[in-house]
């Protein structure tokens, strides 16, 4: 009688719940996500984009007032393009060079000029060449100053770092901002990453580059995606005995919202 009762209890007791579902859980995140800032303080002049707008890499997201910088670029460009002093110095080099060679020729052939005159012509030629070198260096400096002015101007134009969608604009037109203050957030959801956690024993069967099945939440029914293992942690978390696994999957249709939870389907399933 007792043995029959024990058998009945064993047969009606459900098996222990598997923890695999929970230990394989994780969340999705976009691979490309950036909160763009300016590296200089200023006052917002234009915001040519709106939240939800698609942008391409290099598109202007926001500009700071830049009238002073634009004037500086034009001014340094004018100086860099002006060749009057350099051209005059080049003419002097040619004239003094011919004068010296003619005087030296007379001295060598007929002694009709003194050696002091030759030295004087040689000195004039040397000085003319030194002036030419000085103005050549000056032109190089002015060109660099123009490049610096252009770089300073470009720091006041905030551009999209990659193709994506504007998800948040943190400031409004005419607001003053500080350097490195968050201005515009851009996200590219076309490729996403699932960050999950796998028990150490089961993680031994997972390899970088391996395809894994994902079940993602966020709708009435879990959505399936196949992704490729991008990273598997070489260490085990001592508290949970789990290893982090990152799986990259395509989301070109944008149907998976980054931030939704889900789980990795074990390779044996």
pLDDT in tens, 19-32: 444 448 999 999 99
Cα dihedral: 41, 43, 45, 49 (round 10): 60
pTM above threshold 0.75: yes
| pLDDT value of residue 222 | 83
Domain 19-65+165-265: CATH superfamily is: Efflux pump adaptor protein, beta barrel domain (2.40.30.170)
- Distance, in Å, from the CA atom of 108 to the CA atom of 90, rounded to the nearest integer, reads 27
Read off the pLDDT of residues 39-51 as tens digits, 9 standing for 90 and up: 999 999 999 999 9
For residues 176 and 43, the answer to whether their CB atoms sit within 8 Å is yes
Residues in a beta bridge with 188: 32
pLDDT beneath 50: ranges in the chain: 1-23, 269
What does the radius of gyration of the chain's CA atoms come to, in whole angstroms? 37
- Distance, in Å, from the CA atom of 204 to the CA atom of 134, rounded to the nearest integer, reads 69
For residues 139 and 85, the answer to whether their CB atoms sit within 8 Å is no
Three-class SS state of 256: coil
List the structure tokens of 177. Answer: 């901002």
């Amino acid at each position: 009688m007792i043995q029959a009762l024990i058998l009945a209890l064993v047969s009606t007791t459900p098996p222990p719940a598997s923890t695999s579902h929970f230990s394989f859980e994780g969340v999705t995140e976009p691979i490309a996500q950036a909160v763009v800032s300016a590296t200089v303080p200023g006052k917002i002049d234009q915001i040519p984009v709106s939240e939800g707008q698609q942008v391409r890499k290099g598109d202007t997201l926001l500009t700071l007032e830049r009238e002073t910088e634009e004037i500086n670029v034009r001014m340094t460009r004018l100086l860099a393009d002006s060749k009057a002093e350099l051209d005059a110095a080049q003419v002097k080099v040619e004239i003094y060079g011919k004068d010296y060679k003619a005087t030296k020729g007379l001295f060598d052939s007929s002694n009709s000029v003194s050696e002091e005159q030759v030295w004087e012509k040689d000195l004039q030629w040397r000085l003319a060449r030194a002036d030419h070198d000085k103005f050549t260096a000056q032109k190089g400096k002015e060109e660099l100053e123009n490049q610096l002015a252009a770089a300073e101007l470009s720091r006041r134009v905030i551009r999209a770092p990659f193709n994506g969608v504007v998800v948040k604009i943190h400031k409004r037109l005419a607001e003053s901002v500080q350097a490195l203050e968050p201005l515009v957030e851009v996200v590219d959801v076309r490729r996403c990453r699932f960050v999950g956690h796998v028990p150490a024993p089961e993680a031994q069967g997972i390899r970088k580059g391996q395809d894994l099945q994902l079940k993602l939440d966020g709708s009435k029914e879990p959505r399936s995606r196949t992704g490729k293992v991008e990273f598997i942690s070489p260490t085990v978390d001592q508290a949970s005995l789990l290893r982090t696994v990152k799986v990259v999957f395509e989301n070109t249709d944008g149907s998976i919202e980054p931030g939704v939870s889900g789980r990795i389907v074990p390779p044996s399933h």
